[in-house]
Amino acid sequence: MEQKITRAKHLSKEQRAEFYQSKYDYYKNFTRGLIIIATIAYITFFLTDCGIYGRFASETVLSRVIVLLPLLLYIYLSKKQHYYKTMVIAAYLMVHIIIWCTDWATYILPDREYAGEGMMVMNTIFVCAGFCAPYKYAIVAHMGLIVDILIANIFIRYDNVTMMIMFNLPCIIGVCIMHYFMENVYLEHYLVNERLQNLVVYDQLTGVYNRNQLKRISNSDTEELMIGDNIPITLLIVDLDFFKTVNDRFGHEGGDVVLKHTVDVIKKSVRSSDYIIRWGGEEFVIILAGCDVAMGIEVAEKIRVNIEASENGLCPITASIGVAAYQGGSYHSAVERADKALYRAKTGGRNKVVAYEE
Which candidate, 180, 273, 274, places its Cα nearest to that of 236?
A: 274
Active centre residues (catalytic): 282
The torsion angles phi and psi of 54, rounded to 5 degrees, stand at 75, 20
Sorted by sequence, the CB contacts under 8 Å of residue 117 that are 6+ apart come out as none
- Separation between Cα atoms, residue 35 and residue 99, nearest integer Å: 12
The torsion angles phi and psi of 152, rounded to 5 degrees, stand at -60, -35
- Separation between Cα atoms, residue 18 and residue 344, nearest integer Å: 43
- Separation between Cα atoms, residue 31 and residue 204, nearest integer Å: 37
| Residue 240, phi-psi category: left (phi > 0), alpha (psi -120 to 50), beta (remainder) | beta
- Separation between Cα atoms, residue 46 and residue 137, nearest integer Å: 31
List strands edge to edge, sheet with 353-355.
275-280, 283-289, 233-240, 319-326, 353-355
- Separation between Cα atoms, residue 333 and residue 324, nearest integer Å: 10
The torsion angles phi and psi of 235, rounded to 5 degrees, stand at -110, 140
Cα distances (Å, whole numbers) of residue 239 to 3, 105, 270, 283, 341: 36, 74, 16, 5, 12
Q: Looking only at Cα atoms, what is the longest distance across the chain?
A: 97
> Parallel, antiparallel, or unpaired: how do β-strands 353-355 and 319-326 relate?
parallel
